[in-house]
Amino acid sequence: MPSLSLLHATHRSPVSPLEIREAWLTSADNPHLIEYIFSMDSDDDESIRATQETHRCIPGPSGTYSTAVRNWNAAAAISANDVLFVIADDLRPPPSWDTQLCEILGDNDPQQQTFAVKIRDSPDPNDFLLRHPVISRLFFNQYGLFDNEFHGVYCDNDISLRAYWKSVILDGRGIHFEHEHPATNHSLVMTESHIKMNRSEEYQHGESVLESRWPCWKIMAGVRPIRSDRRIVGHRRLLLLRAYGWSLLTLTSNKVPTKRKLLLLRDRAVQTAIYQRIRKVGV
């Protein structure tokens, strides 16, 4: 059974970080295989006091922007286990979550294969975004965790696209984690962390970085997870062929807003590029 590193970037949480850690470890079947790492701002005095006897990192002070990406990346940098799992103050695990996750991984070796896992952390059954990514050690060694140019929002879009086009996203949506976020549960009040991360300036910055990293058609086409027992997992060329095929289908479907779709499909360069890539990969 692979070992796990939980990367918990905490920020002035209304719930004690130690209570959150306790919930994760007591709901796991094999807590001895779990490395739990806190990461926080150096001026978050309450979190620093609460976690002083724990495995943690303190990358630096808070700023005018969200420090979530910086703190998650800092925790990942000092992690040592086979599988890295990004968690937050508002994510709650189900019983035996570690056993369920390992069942999803199947025979895929996190030290020898690059992959990410999409867990279920929203009510939408068609949500494929790696909001709380699970990645293999080899994926981290080759591609890192989050792009440091992001602060918080859109970092999940970026790692989703990176995993989809450079590696593979395994479908772990059978494991239901409760994401206690006001966007999906309107009875909840936004925490200080939610407010800071969801300011309009953060969205403008994140969108600008994302669009500088990826062509518009790849962003619009989105990503698709795959079952870990499918034979093409581990076959890079077949996965690329699948990715280009799904992109073409999505961009010609009703899921893309008509106006945006027409702009994309009128661009002959986009059409030609997709078809040429499909032919090249398929050879």
pLDDT at residue 200, as a whole number: 82
pLDDT above 60 (res 229): yes
What is the number of other CB atoms lying within 10 angstroms of the CB of residue 191?
19
Domain 4-210 has CATH 3.90.550.10: yes
Per-residue pLDDT tens over the stretch 134-163? 999 999 999 999 999 999 899 999 999 999
Residue 75's nearest CA partner among 20, 7, 143, 11 is 7
Per-residue pLDDT tens over the stretch 31-81? 999 999 999 999 999 999 999 999 999 999 987 888 999 999 999 999 999
Mean pLDDT of the chain: 87
> What stretch of H or E contains 268?
helix 268-282
The pTM (predicted TM-score) of the whole model is 0.88
Domain borders along the chain are 4-210, 235-283
SS3 state of residue 169:
strand
As a whole number of angstroms, the distance between CA 34 and CA 42 comes to 25
Cα dist from 117 to 129, 164, 230, whole Å? 10, 11, 14
> Which residues have CB under 8 Å from 187's CB, separation 6+?
none
Rounded to an integer, the average pLDDT of 188-210 is 77
> What stretch of H or E contains 119?
strand 116-120
